[in-house]
Amino acid sequence: MSELQSPGQSTQSDSTSDPRSKRESPSQSSSQTSSEMFSSRPPEHAPIPVAAWGIAGLAVVVVVVVLLIVGHRKPATALNSIQPLAPYASSLPLSQLAMSESTSLSGGKSTFIDGHVQNAGDQTVTGITVQVLFRNDEGMPPQVETLPLSLIRTREPYVDTEPVSAAPLKPRDGQDFRLIFENIPANWNMQMPEIHVIQVIKK
């Protein structure tokens, strides 16, 4: 025969198996909700705007283009380095060289080299660039001045000059010229400087 359970035992078993008996207390529920509210969340990363990517790409393209241009650019020739004579230089002999000075009212001093240029070639010359070498007795490199040769247009009441392009030198033509310098080196040996024709423009 099966054993009979007492009413007390049945009540105890029912209360143990009843899920409603496992309800959380109000204090436990409040604590859990509070912890969920203040729990740390992983940081959210905002997506990078498309415009920012476009600007960055454009900047890279500009940098690449600049590097390509600089890489293919020929190095500029230093004006204070002695350059070779122009091929047409032998057809432009310089003669009658003379030096003079003048002082302005402000105390500045200018130095002039006057001379005569002759076009002994068979082409019309519209531009001449020269280098003037002021040497010294100290064994140091000369001071080099690079400037265009200017023709003397008038001498009275003062000397006025003009570029060669204003009065081109035709074959067998000759003309007086003047070179003007504002800064002569202090160690110049006071000898007539050398004048080299380094560039000639012809037509």
Number of domains in the chain: 1
User: Phi/psi at 129 (nearest 5 deg)?
Assistant: -115, 135
Is 19 a member of any domain?
no
β-bridge mates for residue 24, sequence order = none
**Containing domain of residue 181, as a range?**
89-202
Residue 21 is predicted with a pLDDT of: 46
| Dihedral of alpha carbons 96, 111, 143, 196, sign | negative
CATH number of the domain where residue 105 is located? 2.60.40
Is 41 a member of any domain?
no
Residue 59 is predicted with a pLDDT of: 82
- Start-to-end Cα distance in the chain: 139
Is 147 a member of any domain?
yes
Does the predicted TM-score (pTM) go above 0.75? no
CA 70 to chain centre: 9
pLDDT per residue as tens, the chain (203 positions)? 444 444 444 444 444 445 444 455 554 555 555 455 545 555 555 566 777 767 877 788 777 777 776 555 544 445 578 999 999 999 999 999 999 999 888 888 899 999 999 999 999 999 999 999 999 999 899 999 999 999 999 999 999 999 999 999 999 999 999 999 998 999 999 999 999 999 999 98
Dist CA 74 CA 181 (whole Å): 29
Is 60 a member of any domain?
no
Is 124 a member of any domain?
yes
